[in-house]
Structures are given as C-alpha cells and as structure tokens.
Amino acid sequence: MEIIDCLENNPIVASLHNNDFLSEASSSPVKVIFLLSGNILHIGDVVDHLKSNDKKVFIHIDLIDGLGRDFASVDYIKQRIKPHGILSTRSNLLRHGKEIGLITIQRLFLLDSRALNSGVDIIKSYHPDLVEVLPGIIPRGIEELKKRVHQPIIAGGMITLKNDVIQALKAGALAVSTSKKELWQM
C-alpha cells in the first residue's frame, strides 16, 4: 500500500487542527497529513492544495463542520472532496469508507484495558487499513501536564508492566493506578 511506503520513508504525520500551518505542512518533508478541523465549504480547497504539493491527505470525518455522521457524508467526501482516506472513531463510517475505496484509519483512545479490548474487537470486525492510538506516549504526556498544572498527577490506564510504572513515575507522576494486581506489590 502506497501510504505504508510513505510512512516507512517518513514516519511523521502532520496533524492540522486549523489552517494556520497549512503552508508549513505543504512545504514540509512530511508526506501524510491529517486534517482535524475545517468545514464543508473549504475542506475541498485545502485537500486540493495539499494534494498539489504531493501530500497524502486524510480527513477526520468526525471533526469537519457541516458533515453529518452518516454514510452520505462518507460518499460526499469520496466523490467531491477526494482525499486519500478518512479517519474516525466511528467504525461504521470507516467500514463504509473502506467499501467505497477510501483508505481508513481507526482512531482509538486507549484510556484503560476495557477500551483496549473494545478497540481490538472493533479492528477485528472490519479491518481498517491503519490504526491511530491515543495517547501516543504516556510519559511525555505526563511531563507536559505536570508543566501546566500544579496538582499531583496519578497515571492510570494501560499500566500493566513494571516498566510502565517506572516510566510514569520518572515522568513526574506522583502515583500510578492500575488494575494489574501483580503490580500492587511493587
């Protein structure tokens, strides 16, 4: 798949939350761009601009103003806006997008072990092309949060290994919450 080759050659994806950095993203060495905001009136122009700069463009369908959360919106994106693919937390929209020939990226928020299990089930149910996992790097997120708030931080969710605990504490967490009883004895 061409998108895999792009990511293997340059593993950085530019995520654009608005058009403020559109020019920088267009001229950057990244080959893949996620559009995480916009509206139905302008998204086509943005996609055309990025594609003309040899970028692979993916639209986060959940976050585009003016689009519904239904199959007609996916069809509209495919037929009128013509990105390379879509990303979403909604597997039904991605399933339809895959059926009509779009590259699909399932976005998962791995907040705890239940979310992980549910996400695995979703992925196995229709096989999206790629999966985006959030949060990407817990220790770095802890460090950033610690810089911005004064309250003590407890790291939780996805803490299943001794090393997870060590990394969270090194990053600045005061404590770690986990359902993994083997870690309760640390």
| pLDDT tens sequence across 24-49 | 888 888 788 889 899 999 999 999 99
pLDDT at 137: 47
Q: Is the pTM of the predicted complex or chain greater than 0.85? A: no
pLDDT at 32: 83
SS (H, E, C) 98-110: HHCCCEEEEEEEC
pLDDT at 3: 79
Residue 96's closest CA among 65, 75, 79, 67? 75
C-alpha 172/C-alpha 136 separation (Å) is 17
130 shares its domain with 153: no
48 shares its domain with 111: yes
81 shares its domain with 155: no
Domain count, the chain: 2
For the chain, which residues score pLDDT lower than 70?
1, 10, 110, 112-113, 133-138, 140-142, 144-145, 148-155, 157, 174-179, 181, 185-186
28 shares its domain with 96: yes
